[in-house]
């Protein structure tokens, strides 16, 4: 591992571990700050390049001097020394990537570094392996809920034992996938699959190995080929995908090779030789309107097991929502900076719906789904109705949480087919599914309690886990924002202060003129975060002088649909956060207060049609309740 100091690169040396920097200064790990400082002074004099006259020795002295300097920089800093003692050179990287560690206690520092080290290790392993997997283990617990009249006279312990003996064995399917790039446009994926279950009175175990090659011919066209590597007589599955901004076409044919057909017919004892219908599915999706993301989807498949094709038609759409004041901001093609997390985590997201018809052969069915996704929390809630002739109505309720490469979800379905609970867990590309059959009967009470359990878990998780995490993200956002502003906006702050100084005389003249006619006088004005709380405290600037300089004939007008950052004497105190202009002013001898969102127009004094100036038909003034400490939010 290498490091940089004073523009020179050097290596930690052969002891690239937690002891090398101590070895450079010849000190034990228990050395005090005083001992570190004394040894550094002694060795820096010995190896200082300016004291070397021989060029060959000078090069060696430079290397040793940099090592001594690096050792002192780390071991004289309590935070960096603690990180180095725990994780060696990797700990220094963690300190560099994490801000405000100097505000933590040693115990908190150790916990933070431990968490960051585990996260960095997880990311490295994920990038190195590029693997994923799924595991599904079905459980049937209907023996505990279905009605059993033969157990009515038994004790609860005996009934439980009898029901437990009726629980079937767990059925499981496990699949592991490893992916690698053969070329920049070609990807190879190997999937191994194993399963276990019960067939009549014995347990069966099996598996397989499948290889998939994907080639991206262009950004819009890709082809996949999937084949079994252990059973060559299986047909070859192909997948052609054409995708652009408005249309998506997926064709999935199954190809049976002639020489493999011969092997298949030779080894088969039950299937007749000759031609057989192979599965084919076609899916076409299109954006229905140029200015909307509503899409229509048509799908048809011809499975080999039936003589009727399966058809489906559906319409889906998603619409974002934003209840924060950033929603007033005009859209920009150039993109926007990162935005501060809201306090609740429920302010931004999207709602979506999907409805369609399906024909499984001659049997029709319909389905409808509606859901809402909260983008900040990574939480999604949905409900769905499924109606099929002969199968009845099925109601589905689901909730899911996902953040980066981890997540959890739960789905409850109940109807004429019974009550089922499906749990899912995701972590680093691996997924575990637990489909649980609760009851084979349409039992409303069982469905209620089955739904109540995951609902309670998600509610408690929001209040005690997700919301505190969002709160922590918000604190970290503003902490990082303060650090960046301290490092990068010193020059901008200086220019703003100089601009305000230049506007000072003009603002003074306007104030004197307005005061003489009892007109509009700005007493105090600030520009900062729309939400005032402990997180945004101090992140605002005084704009009293720039606003007073804009007053003309007892009027202040600032156009809307654009940020006020560009005004003379203004700057952005909280990038990426909704801002508000707060003004306290006097007009006609009365003091008033107004709050104006950033992208809304500013018109002061606020108009009040009920109050008119003598001899004039033009309204002026403010609403009768807009007085001291009353905030009025302007609208278009």
Tell me how many degrees the CA angle 359-409-346 measures, rounded to the nearest 5: 105
pLDDT of residue 380: 94
- What is the 8-class DSSP label of residue 514? H
- Centre a 10 Å sphere on the Cβ of residue 107 and count the other Cβ atoms it contains: 8
The two tokens of residue 368 are: 């409808």
Let me know how long the chain is.
636
Rounded CA gap, 191 and 207, in Å?
Answer: 11
Residue spans per domain, the chain: 2-125, 490-604
Q: Which two tokens stand for residue 292?
A: 């909307």
* 3-state SS track over 93-120: HHHHHCCCHHHCCHHHHHHHHHHHHHHH
Asked if 172 and 135 count as a contact pair (C-beta separation under 8 A), the reply is yes
How far is the C-alpha of 128 from the C-alpha of 179, rounded, in Å? 10
pLDDT at 167: 67
Contact 546, 527 (CB under 8 A): no
Q: What is the pLDDT of residue 489?
A: 67
DSSP string, 168-226: PPPEEEEEEEEEEEEETTEEEEEEEEEEEEEETTEEEEEEEEEEEEEEESSSSEEEEEE
Q: Say which residues have a Cβ less than 8 Å from residue 576's Cβ, sequence separation at least 6.
A: 336, 337, 338, 339, 340, 481
Contact by Cβ (8 Å): 107, 115: no
- The half-sphere exposure of 191 on its side-chain side, counting CA atoms within 13 A, is 17
> Could you confirm whether domain 2-125 is CATH 1.10.1040.10?
no
Q: Which residue has the tokens 């990180």?
A: 83
What's 143's DSSP letter?
G
Mark residue 473 as left, alpha or beta (left: phi above 0; alpha: psi -120 to 50; beta: remaining): alpha
What average pLDDT values come out for the chain (636 residues) when binned by 10 residues? Answer: 39 56 87 89 85 78 87 87 81 69 64 70 61 82 72 69 69 84 89 69 68 92 89 79 92 73 47 57 92 91 73 93 68 54 86 92 87 92 88 90 88 90 89 90 87 91 89 85 73 86 94 93 93 85 94 92 89 86 94 92 72 37 34 34
**Residue 514's pLDDT is what?**
93
What is the C-alpha radius of gyration for the chain, rounded to an integer number of angstroms?
35
| DSSP result, 161-173 | HHHHHTPPPPEEE
Q: Where are the alpha helices (DSSP H) in 219-312?
A: 258-267
């Amino acid at each position: 591992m290498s490091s940089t100091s004073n523009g020179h690169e050097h290596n930690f040396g052969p002891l690239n571990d937690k002891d090398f920097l101590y070895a450079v200064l010849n000190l034990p790990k228990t050395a005090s700050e005083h001992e570190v400082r004394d040894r550094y002074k002694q060795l820096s004099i010995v190896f200082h390049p300016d004291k070397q006259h021989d060029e060959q020795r000078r090069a060696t002295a430079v290397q040793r001097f940099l090592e001594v300097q690096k050792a002192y920089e780390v071991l004289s800093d309590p935070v960096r020394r603690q990180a180095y003692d725990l994780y060696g050179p990797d700990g220094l990287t963690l300190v560099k990537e994490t801000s405000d560690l100097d505000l933590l206690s040693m115990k908190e520092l150790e916990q933070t570094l431990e968490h960051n080290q585990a996260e960095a290790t997880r990311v490295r392993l994920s990038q190195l392996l590029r693997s994923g997997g799924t595991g599904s283990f079905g459980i049937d617990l209907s023996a505990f809920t279905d009605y059993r009249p033969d157990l009515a006279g038994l004790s609860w312990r005996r009934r439980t034992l009898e029901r437990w003996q009726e629980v079937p064995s767990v059925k499981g399917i496990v699949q592991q996938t490893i992916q690698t790039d053969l070329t920049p446009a070609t990807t190879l994926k190997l999937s191994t699959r194993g399963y276990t279950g019960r067939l009549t009175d014995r347990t069966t175990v099996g598996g397989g190995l499948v290889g998939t090659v994907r080639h991206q011919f262009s950004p819009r066209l890709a082809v996949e080929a999937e084949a079994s590597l252990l059973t060559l007589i299986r047909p070859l599955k192909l997948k052609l995908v054409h995708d652009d901004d408005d249309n998506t076409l997926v064709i999935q044919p199954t190809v049976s090779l002639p020489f493999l057909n011969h092997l298949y017919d030779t080894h088969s004892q039950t299937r007749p030789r000759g031609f057989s219908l192979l599965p084919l599915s076609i899916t076409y999706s299109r954006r229905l309107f140029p200015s909307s993301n509503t899409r229509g989807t048509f799908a048809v498949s011809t499975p080999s097991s039936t003589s009727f094709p399966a058809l489906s038609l559906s319409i889906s759409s998603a619409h974002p929502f934003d209840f924060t004041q950033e929603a007033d901001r005009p859209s920009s093609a150039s993109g926007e900076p990162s935005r501060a997390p809201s306090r609740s985590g429920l302010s931004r997201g999207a709602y979506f719906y999907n409805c369609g018809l399906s024909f499984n052969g001659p049997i029709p069915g319909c389905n409808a789904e509606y859901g809402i996704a909260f983008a900040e929390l990574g939480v999604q809630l949905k409900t769905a109705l499924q109606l099929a002739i002969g199968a009845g109505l099925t109601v589905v309720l689901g909730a899911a949480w996902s953040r980066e490469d981890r997540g959890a979800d739960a789905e409850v379905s109940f109807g004429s087919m019974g009550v089922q609970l499906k749990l899912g867990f995701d972590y680093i590309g691996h997924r575990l599914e637990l489909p649980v059959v609760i009851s084979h009967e349409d039992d409303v009470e069982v469905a209620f309690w089955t739904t109540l359990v995951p609902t309670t878990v998600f509610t408690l998780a929001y209040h005690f886990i997700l919301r505190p995490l969002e709160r922590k993200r918000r604190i970290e956002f503003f902490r990082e924002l303060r650090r960046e502003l301290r490092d990068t906006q010193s020059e901008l702050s200086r220019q703003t202060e100089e601009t305000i100084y230049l506007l000072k005389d003009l603002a003074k003249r306007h104030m004197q003129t307005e005061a003489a006619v009892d007109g509009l006088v700005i007493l105090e004005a600030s520009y900062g975060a729309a939400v005032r709380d402990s997180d945004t405290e101090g992140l605002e600037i005084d704009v009293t002088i720039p606003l007073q300089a804009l007053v003309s004939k007892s009027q202040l007008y600032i156009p809307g649909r654009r940020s006020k950052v560009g005004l003379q004497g203004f700057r952005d105190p909280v990038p990426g956060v909704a801002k508000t202009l707060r003004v306290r002013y006097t007009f006609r001898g009365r003091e008033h207060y107004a709050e104006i969102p950033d992208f809304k127009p500013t018109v002061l004094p606020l108009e009040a049609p009920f109050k008119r100036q003598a001899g004039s038909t033009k309204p002026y003034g403010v609403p009768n309740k807009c007085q001291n400490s009353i905030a009025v939010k302007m609208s278009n």
